[in-house]
Amino acid sequence: MQPALRFPRQDRLKSRKSIEALFQSGKRIAVDAWRANYHFRPTPGLQLGAGAPSRIFKKAVDRNRIKRLIREAYRLDQHRWKQALAEKQSGLDLFILYNGKSVPDFAATQAGLNKLFDKIFGG
């Protein structure tokens, strides 16, 4: 049976305090135009945030589209992220940024998230 493919509220990184702590003390990685700030924590679970800079994407429509693409690509592949965390017996706070020059398509978003996964989990 296929696992539930939802992105519930408790899996979203929304707290300003958590996001600021993540950007100040978390680790940073970059793959092509994709950037990720992440921090492993002892409590189980994964919280994800997504963003696109307004400096590059002037229209809110474009920034929102990029955030939706990131969340959707994660939602469809979240079982792999959560399984890797279960093996490490830890939790993860993750914020993904896209710094490319144009709005990516869904396939490029999935490929970017897969590369970030490989780099974060050493695969």
Question: Could you tell me whether strands 34-41 and 27-31 are parallel, antiparallel, or unpaired per DSSP bridges?
Answer: antiparallel
The whole-angstrom separation of Cα 84 and Cα 52 is 26
Q: For residue 2, what pLDDT is reported?
A: 59
Q: For residue 5, what pLDDT is reported?
A: 83
Token pair recorded at residue 17: 């305090």
The whole-angstrom separation of Cα 93 and Cα 38 is 5
pLDDT tens digit sequence for 68-84: 999 999 999 999 999 99
Task: Say what the pTM is.
Answer: 0.92
Question: What residue segments make up the domains of the chain, in order of their start?
Answer: 11-120
Query: What would the CATH number be for the domain defined by 11-120?
Result: 3.30.230.10
Secondary structure (DSSP) of 58-108: -SHHHHHHHHHHHHHHHHHHHHHHHHHHHHHT-EEEEEEEE--SS---HHH
Residues in the chain with pLDDT values less than 50: 1
Place of tokens 């589209």: 65
Tell me which residue of 5, 20, 123, 13 sits closest to 73, measured CA to CA: 5
Q: For residue 122, what pLDDT is reported?
A: 84
Q: For residue 71, what pLDDT is reported?
A: 96
Q: For residue 3, what pLDDT is reported?
A: 63
Q: Are 71 and 91 in contact (CB under 8 A)?
A: no
Place of tokens 């490929």: 111
